[in-house]
């Protein structure tokens, strides 16, 4: 219906194309950086071998993956390796999921907001802040998430030892916490219905835990103490989840409540109805029916399993833990398929949910509980330099070059992974500092504007002060003009606010721009209504704001000339009109015609329209005045 | 000072603190009840009914509709004033001498003020008007006096007045009083006024306002004269002395030859009461218990009024001194009743965009008309 909100479509071709373009652009930059590093490294190695490797004191160990850097030696403990590679792969998978075409436009509205909706107000407030940052710059944020997550994943996989490997763990902690808070609303731990089955305490919190474990010195992994602590923590968590699962009144004991599916059956059945492969949806539907028919038994099994596994993990007895781990993997896989819908199926999935990370954690705990015997330290190929001279020598260009040349392929790969992260993070940081939204949102809602150069039809109308105004009287100024219903309840107040903000964005150039609206209501068109609208929207004090009206004949002529259709709809609807804005240059020529439908009218879309209008006004100001 | 003296002092402070806490009394409070916007009224042009139709309010697909059954006619017509989205609700008042109808749109979504519309040809044509403020969410938020003065009760409890319908249309209103000022006045203080729920013009065309009182047994009806507000009753029977009283509706039906005086609908505790002012004294009806809440109410001619209660219970009363009459249970979906000829009633039932009119024939309701309302779903979202 013309003149009504249309909403921001995440699958909008403009948004999708811009997202794809940003990904390709940043991907190309990442590739160039990786290729450059590789080339530089290969060249340095060639040069160094040609120079006879006589670069002075050894400075090995500064780069990751080298022995002798104080982070342990020998092969990497199995538990740590499992976590590092497992979570590295998951981060890469998450990064690839972030590259889904609808992610840029849809994450804020389809992932962030729904995850927060049942949380307390303070959580919603915090998450809303993060969602707003995303929604102001969806393309930049979307692309940044892809490269940051792919970079962290690659970094974890490539850097096996040393401080760079531990730094990768810390990066996983930092980004994981950001995603856990803003993307998962703290994993829903403050919302009702929390359950281990559905993903408590939030998959990405487990990424952060794994990152923290990876960031520990490797020596910590060589003692069974870490395994006992990790399994003890997981055991306590499982017991807590068992208690929560058994807690009466949460709807998990009932297969059906009042003829409707109980909590678990309802969740599963909802999942099964989302678009996904038929095999999976039918599996979910079957399990949903089973859970509805046998709610008590299903919950009893879950409670017993969680409590049992928790107790075994707490015991720290390797023989028992081993069986519990295998059982947990089987049980977790079943839950992952039948309850969590593989995490990323059904909707705009961003990660595989909590089961795989959970399995990795307790498996790593078991491996850490039974560490392999310490291997003999690798022989130092070259003697170490005296410690006090070490840092000075490292910073010398020649030494740096030598260090780089002697670095392993893993080391260079780790640096390349960090560069990939920066490729995404740097533009995101710059965008986050920008308080105005990306105009791509406005283009996605309104469609790309049509660049024109045609004379604007003249008019003779009356402003909100009752003074006559003609288009000719505005000659010499750029005119941003739209059509507003003064008693409109939806779009028009938003468009008025956008025009006002566009004037603010123009800064000093604002004095050469006239913000004009023409009444678009055949009934409520008297000056009193334009004045009331101005007061309502805070436009009364905007010096270059004109809200024009006239007789029905005058208005009808202007509407016709500018292609505006205005009609009164029946049965309590507002007067309908198409939303349109035109940019008229100082010579009285229309230079842009842009749909002014404000879409959902959020802070980000309003800001986006204001930015777009101000950009068009600046372009029109820059065009020469013709006689 | 010895340690013992200090301890004794502390003990005294503690005891005093406990004592004062024990002596404190929670301030009186009240949950303000107002009548729903679903209503009907009778003017010389005919009977008017207001009902909400369509879909859910949360998705802005609920639209308020105005229907008229012209005087002497038996069928209803849709006459909702055009050009303003009315999801926020419609409020109507009979115009000067009952010859016209003034309708106010309650603001909603991005609209902060209340456009008006006036018709003197049973809704065929409407003249726009403006109240540059938000009308209160009560059916008696607008009133037009015999002299043409217009009263508007605002959402914040203020009362605005326009000297004529023309000035009202031009948005030229002036502040008559505010809830705060009225509550601070002597009559306001004596009732503990906390909310204003209705405005009207009294017997001698004086502005009147009514609301909810904290003080038990006192009905908050006020009349303005010469810039001063005075308590205007009514005094309730002694049996209601322990109940908080809230005025849900106030009207002065202005109909040729049937002037019924001021009529008020009151909620005293859990009982509904009607009260009539004939210029010298109030007459109060017997009570009707309210069990399932009030879903609609309205005033008819000659001082009559009706209420629609939960579960389809419908009660009417013909005027001062008359008993309450229980109508047969209203048909499913009934949102408002409208007085008909000869003491009869029409029940207007809503299902989505379909309005079904039921007419009380002898002892039961008979379907007499179905109106399909062309609601434009999604037009306000």
What does the pLDDT look like over A559-571, one tens digit per residue? 999 999 999 888 8
**pLDDT, position B1:** 43
Q: Work out the percent of chain B whose per-residue pLDDT is above 70.
A: 89
Flag whether pLDDT at B343 surpasses 60. Answer: yes
Residue A499 has pLDDT above 80, yes or no: yes
Tell me, yes or no, if B59 comes closer than 8 A to chain A by beta carbon.
Answer: no
Q: Find tokens 């022995």 and name the residue.
A: A67
pLDDT of residue A1: 32
Question: In whole angstroms, what is the distance from residue B203 CA to residue B102 CA?
Answer: 20
What is A322-390 written as a DSSP string?
Answer: HHHHHHHHHHHHHHHHHTSTTTTTTTT--S--SHHHHHHHHHHHHHHHSPPPPPPPPPPSSPPPPHHHH
Q: CA separation (Å) from A398 to A48, A51, A559, B321?
A: 11, 12, 74, 110
Q: Tell me, what's the pLDDT at B4?
A: 52
Most confident of the following: A338-347, A420-429, B173-182? B173-182
Mean pLDDT computed over B306-327: 92
pLDDT score for A346: 61
pLDDT in tens, A249-260: 888 888 888 788
The whole-number average pLDDT for the span A479-498 is 92
Question: What region does A162 belong to: left with phi over 0, alpha with psi -120 to 50, or beta?
Answer: left
**Cβ of A576 and B379 within 8 Å?**
yes
CB B88 within 8 A of CB B108: yes
Q: What is the pLDDT of residues A84-102, one digit of tens each?
A: 999 999 999 999 999 988 8
Element (H, E) at A446: helix A440-446
| Contact assignment for A573 to B115 by CB distance below 8 Å | no
Position B246 scores a pLDDT of 94
Burial class (CB in 10 A: 0-12, 13-18, 19+), A591: buried
How distant is the Cα of A448 from the closest Cα of chain B, in angstroms? 24
Residues 6+ apart with CB under 8 A from B323: B285, B286, B317
DSSP class of B159: E
Which carries the bigger pLDDT value, residue A397 or residue B345? Answer: B345
pLDDT at B286: 94
Chain B contact set for A568 (CB, 8 A): 82-83
Mutate to test the interface with B, among A2, A485, A489 (most CBs of B within 10 A): A489
- pLDDT (mean) for A291-301: 90
Whether pLDDT at A531 is above 50: yes
Q: Are A546 and A516 in contact (CB under 8 A)?
A: yes
Residue A120 has pLDDT above 60, yes or no: yes
What DSSP character marks residue A9?
Answer: -
pLDDT of A136 over the 80 cut: yes
Chain A residues closer than 8 Å to B111 by CB: 487-489, 493, 536
* Average pLDDT value for residue range A131-158: 90
Q: How far apart are CA A95 and CA A151, in angstroms?
A: 9
- How close is the nearest chain B Cα to the Cα of A536, in Å? 7
Q: What are phi and psi of B152, to 5 degrees?
A: -135, 125
Closest among A492, A515, A462 to A566, alpha carbons compared? A492
Distance CA B271, CA B219 (A): 13
- Cα separation, A449 vs B330, in Å, equals 56
Rounded-to-integer distance, Cα A580 and Cα A563, Å: 9
Tell me, yes or no, if B115 comes closer than 8 A to chain A by beta carbon: yes
**Secondary structure letter of residue A420 according to DSSP:** H
Share of chain A above pLDDT 70, in %: 89
pLDDT at B14 over 50: no
Report phi then psi at B300, rounded to 5.
-110, -160
Is pLDDT at A384 greater than 60 in this prediction? no
Q: Does B372 touch chain A (CB under 8 A)?
A: no
Q: Find residues 547-606 of chain A whose CB sits inside 8 Å of chain B.
A: 568-576
Question: Strand, coil or helix: what is A120?
Answer: coil
Please provide the DSSP assignment of B255-322 as one string. -TT----EEEEEEETTEEEEEEE-SS-EEEPPPEE-SS-EEEEEE-GGG-EEEEEGGG-EEEE-STTP
CB-based contact B110 A494, cutoff 8 Å: yes
- Write the burial class of residue A35 (CB in 10 Å: 0-12 exposed, 13-18 middle, 19+ buried): exposed
Burial zone of A147 (CB within 10 Å; 0-12 exposed, 13-18 middle, 19+ buried): buried
Long-range contacts of the stretch A176-181 (C-beta < 8 A, 24+): A176/A204, A176/A205, A176/A207, A176/A208, A176/A211, A177/A204, A177/A205, A177/A208, A179/A204, A179/A207, A180/A204, A180/A205, A180/A208, A181/A126, A181/A127, A181/A130
Contact A571 B380 (CB under 8 A): no
Cβ distance of B110 and A569 shorter than 8 Å: no
Task: Give the pLDDT confidence of A189-229 residue by residue, as tens digits.
Answer: 888 878 888 888 999 999 999 999 999 998 899 889 999 99
Beta carbons of A488 and B130 less than 8 Å apart: no
Q: Is the pLDDT of residue A550 over 80?
A: yes
B51 pLDDT above the threshold of 90: yes
Token pair in block for residue A175: 């980004």
What pLDDT score was predicted for residue A2? 33
Q: Tokens 């990768």 label which residue?
A: A168
Asked if the model's pLDDT at residue A604 lies above 70, the reply is yes
**CA Rg value for chain A:** 31
Is the pLDDT score of B98 beyond 80? no
Contact B140, B251 (CB under 8 A): yes
Least CB-CB distance to B378: which of A1, A493, A536? A1
Nearest CA in chain B to A493: B110
**pLDDT score, position A445:** 82
pLDDT tier at A381, thresholds 50, 70, 90 = very low
User: How far apart (Å, rounded) are the C-alpha atoms in residues A435 and A429?
Assistant: 12
Q: Looking at residue A560, what is its pLDDT? A: 94
Residue B258: pLDDT above 50? no
* The pLDDT value given to residue A6: 46
- C-alpha–C-alpha distance, residues A297 and A307, integer Å: 15
**pLDDT band, very low/low/confident/very high, at A347 (cuts 50, 70, 90):** low
Q: Is B208 on the interface with A (CB under 8 A)?
A: no
Pairing state of beta strands B101-105 and B282-284?
unpaired
Which percentage of chain B shows pLDDT scores above 90? 63
Residues 6+ apart with CB under 8 A from A498: A596, A598, A606, A609, A610, A613
Decide: B337 and B325 in contact? Cβ < 8 Å.
no
Query: What is residue B261's predicted lDDT score, i.e. its pLDDT?
Result: 64
- Mean pLDDT of all residues in chain A? 85
DSSP B35: -
Phi, psi of A455 (to 5 degrees): -60, 135
Element (H or E) spanning A610, and its range? helix A603-622
* Residues in chain B closer than 8 A to A531 (CB atoms): 171
Contact A572 B65 (CB under 8 A): yes
Tokens of B175: 């502040």
Q: Distance between alpha carbon A8 and the CA centroid of its chain, in Å?
A: 16
- For B58-86, the pLDDT digits (tens) are 778 899 999 999 988 999 999 999 999 99
What ipTM was estimated for this complex?
0.87
pLDDT at B370: 96
pTM beyond 0.90, yes or no: no
Q: Is the pLDDT of residue A63 over 50?
A: no
Report the percent of chain A where pLDDT is more than 90: 45
* Contact B166/A at CB under 8 A: no
Closest residue of B to A575, CA-based? B83
Q: CB B80 to CB A570 under 8 A? A: yes
CA–CA dist B163, A427 (Å, integer) = 62
Tell me, what's the pLDDT at A52? Answer: 53
For residue A614, the model assigns a pLDDT of 92
Alpha helices in chain B (DSSP H): 3-23, 165-169, 179-184, 186-191
- Which of A480-494, B253-267, B326-340 has the weakest average pLDDT? B253-267
| Pair B365, B331: CB distance under 8 Å | yes
Rounded to the nearest angstrom, the minimum Cα separation between A491 and chain B is: 8
Q: Which of A5, A532, A570 sits opposite B130 (nearest CB)?
A: A532
Q: What integer pLDDT is reported at residue B91 of this predicted model?
A: 95
Give the pLDDT of residue A56.
43
Identify which has the larger pLDDT, A234 or A255: A234
Chain B residue numbers with beta carbons less than 8 Å from the beta carbon of A521 are 83
């Amino acid at each position: 219906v013309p003149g009504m909100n249309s909403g921001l479509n995440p699958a909008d071709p403009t948004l999708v194309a811009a997202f794809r373009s940003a990904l390709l652009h940043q991907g190309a930059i990442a590739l160039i950086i990786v290729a450059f590093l590789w080339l530089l490294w290969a060249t340095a190695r060639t040069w160094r071998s040609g120079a006879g490797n006589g670069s002075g004191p050894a400075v090995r160990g500064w780069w990751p993956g080298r022995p002798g850097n104080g982070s342990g030696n020998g092969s990497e403990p199995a538990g740590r390796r499992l976590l590092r590679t497992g979570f590295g792969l998951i981060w890469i998978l998450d990064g690839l999921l972030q590259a889904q075409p609808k992610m840029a436009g849809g994450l804020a509205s389809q992932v962030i907001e729904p995850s927060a909706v049942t949380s307390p107000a303070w959580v919603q407030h915090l998450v809303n802040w993060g969602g707003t940052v995303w929604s102001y710059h969806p393309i930049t944020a979307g692309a940044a998430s892809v490269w940051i997550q792919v970079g962290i994943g690659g970094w974890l996989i490539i850097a096996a030892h040393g401080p760079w490997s531990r730094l990768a763990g810390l990066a996983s902690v930092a980004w994981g916490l950001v995603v856990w808070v803003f993307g998962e609303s703290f994993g829903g731990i403050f919302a009702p219905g929390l359950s281990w089955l559905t993903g408590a305490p939030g998959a990405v919190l487990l990424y952060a835990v794994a990152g923290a474990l990876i960031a520990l010195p490797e020596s910590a992994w060589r003692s069974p103490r870490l395994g006992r602590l990790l399994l003890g923590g997981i055991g306590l968590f499982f017991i807590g989840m068992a208690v929560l699962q058994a807690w009466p009144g949460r709807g998990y004991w009932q297969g059906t409540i009042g003829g409707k599916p109980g909590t678990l059956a309802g969740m599963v059945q909802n999942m099964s109805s989302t678009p996904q492969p038929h095999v999976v949806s039918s599996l979910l539907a079957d399990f949903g029916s089973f859970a509805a028919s046998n709610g008590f038994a299903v919950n009893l099994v879950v409670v017993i399993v969680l409590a049992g596994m928790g107790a075994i993990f707490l015991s720290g007895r390797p023989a028992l833990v081993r069986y519990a781990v295998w059982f947990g993997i089987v049980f977790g896989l079943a839950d992952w398929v039948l309850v969590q819908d593989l995490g990323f199926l059904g909707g705009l999935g961003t990660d595989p949910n909590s089961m795989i990370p959970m399995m990795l954690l307790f498996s790593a705990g078991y491996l850490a509980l039974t560490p392999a015997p310490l291997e003999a330290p690798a022989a130092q190929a070259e003697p170490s330099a005296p410690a006090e001279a070490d840092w000075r020598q490292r910073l010398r260009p020649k030494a740096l070059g030598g260090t780089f040349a002697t670095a392993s392929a893993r080391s260079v790969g780790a640096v390349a992974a960090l560069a990939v992260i920066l490729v995404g993070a740097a533009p995101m940081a710059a965008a986050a500092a920008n308080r105005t939204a990306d105009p791509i949102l406005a283009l996605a809602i309104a469609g790309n504007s049509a660049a024109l150069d045609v004379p604007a039809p003249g008019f003779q109308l009356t402003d909100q002060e009752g003074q006559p105004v003609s288009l000719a009287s505005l000659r010499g100024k750029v005119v941003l003009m739209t059509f507003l219903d003064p008693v409109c309840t939806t779009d028009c107040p938003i468009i008025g606010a956008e025009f006002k903000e566009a004037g603010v964005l123009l800064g000093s150039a604002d004095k050469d721009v006239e913000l004009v609206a023409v009444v678009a209501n055949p009934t409520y068109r008297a000056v009193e209504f334009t004045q009331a609208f101005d007061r309502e929207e805070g436009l009364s004090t905007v010096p270059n704001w004109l809200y024009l009206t006239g007789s029905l004949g005058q208005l009808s002529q202007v509407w016709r000339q500018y292609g505006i259709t205005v009609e009164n709809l029946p049965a309590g609807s507002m007067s309908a009109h198409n939303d349109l804005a035109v940019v008229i240059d100082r010579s009285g020529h229309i230079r842009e015609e842009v749909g002014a439908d404000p879409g959902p009218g959020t802070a980000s879309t309003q800001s986006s329209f204001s930015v777009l209008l101000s950009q068009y006004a600046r372009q029109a100001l820059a065009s020469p005045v013709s006689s | 000072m010895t340690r013992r003296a200090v301890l004794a002092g502390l003990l005294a402070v503690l005891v005093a603190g406990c004592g004062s806490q024990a002596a404190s009394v929670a301030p009186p409070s009240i949950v303000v009840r107002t009548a729903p916007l679903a209503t009907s009224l009778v003017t010389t042009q005919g009977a008017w009914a207001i009902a909400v139709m369509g879909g859910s309010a949360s998705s802005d697909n609920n639209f308020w509709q105005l229907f008229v059954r012209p005087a002497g006619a038996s069928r209803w017509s849709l006459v909702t004033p055009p050009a303003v989205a009315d999801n926020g609700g419609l409020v109507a008042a009979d115009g000067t001498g009952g010859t016209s109808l003034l309708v106010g749109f309650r603001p909603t979504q991005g609209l902060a003020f209340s456009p008006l519309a006036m018709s003197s040809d049973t809704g065929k044509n409407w003249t726009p008007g403006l109240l540059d403020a938000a009308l209160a969410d009560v059916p008696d938020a607008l009133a037009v006096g015999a002299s043409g003065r217009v009263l508007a009760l605002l959402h914040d409890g203020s009362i605005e007045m326009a000297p004529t319908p023309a000035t009202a249309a031009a948005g030229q209103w002036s502040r008559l009083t505010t809830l705060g000022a009225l509550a601070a006045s002597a009559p306001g203080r004596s009732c503990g006024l906390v909310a204003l729920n209705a405005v009207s013009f009294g017997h001698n065309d004086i502005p009147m306002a009514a609301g909810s009182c904290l003080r038990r047994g006192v009905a908050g009806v006020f009349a303005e004269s010469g810039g001063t507000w005075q308590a205007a009753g009514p005094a309730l029977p002694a049996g209601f002395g322990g109940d908080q009283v809230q005025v849900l509706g106030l009207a002065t039906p202005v109909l040729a030859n049937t002037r019924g005086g001021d009529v008020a609908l009151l909620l005293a505790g859990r009982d509904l009461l009607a009260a009539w002012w004939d210029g010298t004294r109030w007459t109060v009806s017997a009570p009707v218990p309210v069990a399932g809440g009030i879903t609609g109410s309205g005033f008819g001619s000659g001082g009559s009024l009706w209420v629609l209660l939960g579960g389809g219970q419908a009660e009417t009363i013909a005027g001062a001194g008359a008993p309450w009459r229980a109508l047969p249970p209203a048909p499913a979906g009934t949102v408002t009743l409208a007085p008909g000829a000869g003491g009869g009633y029409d029940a207007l039932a809503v299902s989505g965009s379909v309005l079904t009119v039921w007419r009380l024939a002898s002892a039961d309701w008979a379907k007499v008309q179905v109106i399909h309302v062309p609601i434009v779903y999604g037009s306000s979202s």
